[in-house]
Chains A and B, each alone.
Chain A
Amino acid sequence: MVRTADTARHPALTATMVAMTTTAAPATTPVVGFDQVTKTYGDVRAVDGLSLRLYPGETVALLGPNGAGKSTTLDLLLGLKPADGGTVSLFGTSPREAIVAGRVGAMLQSGGLMDGVTVAELVKLSCSLHPRPYPVSDVLARAGIAAIADRKVDKLSGGQAQRVRFALATAGDSDLIILDEPTTGMDVSARQAFWATMREQADQGRTVLFATHYLEEADAIADRVLVLHRGRLLADGTAAEIKAKAGDRRVSFDLEGAIDETALRGLPFLTSIDVSGQTVRIQSSDADATVHGLYGLGVYPRNLEVAGLGLEQAFVAITAAEEAKQS
């Protein structure tokens, strides 16, 4: 798929994308505008006063653990759910207007497929519903489903169904592509192939927003990462910045005899410590230096383990850091 016209429309695109950071906020209409958006289910604030702007050409990862409010955020963004408070805009209009204008293509986790029809028929339907459709064969080829075009939709594997969803989201010339955990159900190679396809979309100047709970995916694909936790925006920066923030490592070991906690607290780069019985668990922003300091205390740590934080713990680390900053 060649989009020469679009490349001409965004001549400085490649350069911008490389240089793009959160501070590079051009004075154009934002692709996505969230202003103090709130959504509550019963007692749960799924989205809590969320404000954000996305600009043309950005590839943005919406990162967060399960239950962080990613899917709700995308639902609000697409107008599938009404916000309880605040305003949501796409291209300066309502989500529905933007969809009707064919500016948005979206692939939802919860988006089902029509069964009893073939893959090609479904893609053809999607093309015919788009104001600026691509040829069906191109859409099939790009999504990597040309070989299964004649297969019935209800006979697909999870990964194949995801590719069909992707095809539906990219059936026409949209400016914004939204993908909710698109690689769910794909194996590693399918995942890589998928992200290559998606990068093509971004390279054509589209704004791409995808939700994921894999830090690695956000790191590899996105030039901007939004970290969502309990419906609030915790961090907004490049993947490198986020990784640095969540880059703490966990050091754990056992000590014999009385434990001098005060001495341990003085270890370099220590961000938190937890002593239970003979086991000490430390979080450190520089594990090498912390372990080096540990031996400097003259103790003999046993069962020493150094591990990266899981994403879940990384979020806790970022949250703790944010809260410390606020107080």
Chain B
Amino acid sequence: MNSLIKLEVSRALRNRKFLFFSVIYPAGLFLLIAGGSDGHDKIDGTGLTLPTYMMVSMASFGALTAVLMGNSERIAKERESGWVRQLRLTTLPGRGYVLAKTASAAVVSLPSIVVVFVVAAAVKDVRLDAGQWLGLTGAIWAGSLVFAALGVALGYLASGDAVRPITMIIYFGLSMLGGLWMPTTTFPQWLQDIAEWLPTHAYASLGRAIEESRAPHAQDLTVLAVSFVLFAGGAAWLYRKDTLKA
């Protein structure tokens, strides 16, 4: 299985378009949004400045891009091409393929998180304790598993031409409504009420709790845990269905 992970990782690292969107793009977007701010005004309802706030948003967004986009389209395509079938004729255990996909997505998502942090610290003088930096990296990285599971589920749910638009809608919907691009406090109240139940919102708020040195909200942890169970369960169910059909 390690050999498949290795090959998946080196393929991902060779794919410049994918690397650009998941590693460079979030950091670029961070500069675009936070670049003009003076770093003193606090975002409504938080004790965080815009750069600090957006750093978590964009790191989360980058990780989301890497795991969601990386998994869903590849899996759908490789299911269709028969590569998944071919792998079933090897000693690779049944879930090995999905695990390798998730692991390789995680390898790409880590730099996308770190690059945002480095840019934020270097350009916008975001300062945190060493423990906070580590905790933040760990939390965002681990939290991305929720969306990796969603990516796998989508890859087994949709196929061919349908997978890209479906993934895009979910990706942009989750990013925007979850407040990764702009604070949800700028939304009308009814939209805020919806947004706070989205896993992306919970995901970013987890990171912000670490920045503010406070315990994360129980609601956010619950939303993430329930989402993970739903996505992973859905992925497992769809995977089994696909195996019987193939």
Contact = CB atoms under 8 A, between A and B. Distances in A.
Contacts of A100: 91
Interface residues of A, number: 31
A125 B85 contact: no
A112 B7 contact: no
Contacts of A115: 81
A112 B78 contact: yes
Nearest to B84: A112
Interface stretch (A103-111, A137-145, A261-269, A283-291): A103-111
Interface stretch (A61-69, A77-85, A235-243): A77-85
Interface in A76-104: 78, 80-82, 99-100, 102, 104
Interface in A295-316: none
Interface residues of B, number: 22
A108 B86 contact: yes
Given A81-B246, A117-B11, A125-B4, A112 B83 contact: yes
A306 to B, nearest CB: 43
A325 to B, nearest CB: 38
A124 B3 contact: yes
Nearest to B83: A112
B92 interface: yes
B7 A125 contact: yes
A129 B92 CA distance: 7
A113 interface: yes
A102 B91 contact: yes
28 contacts: A78-B88, A80-B85, A80-B89, A81-B246, A99-B90, A105-B89, A108-B82, A108-B86, A108-B89, A110-B82, A111-B85, A111-B86, A112-B80, A112-B81, A114-B78, A114-B83, A116-B11, A116-B14, A116-B15, A121-B7, A121-B10, A124-B3, A125-B7, A126-B90, A129-B3, A129-B90, A130-B90, A169-B89
Interface of A: 78, 80-82, 99-100, 102, 104-106, 108, 110-117, 121-122, 124-126, 128-131, 165, 168-169
Interface of B: 3-4, 7, 10-11, 14-15, 78, 80-86, 88-92, 244, 246
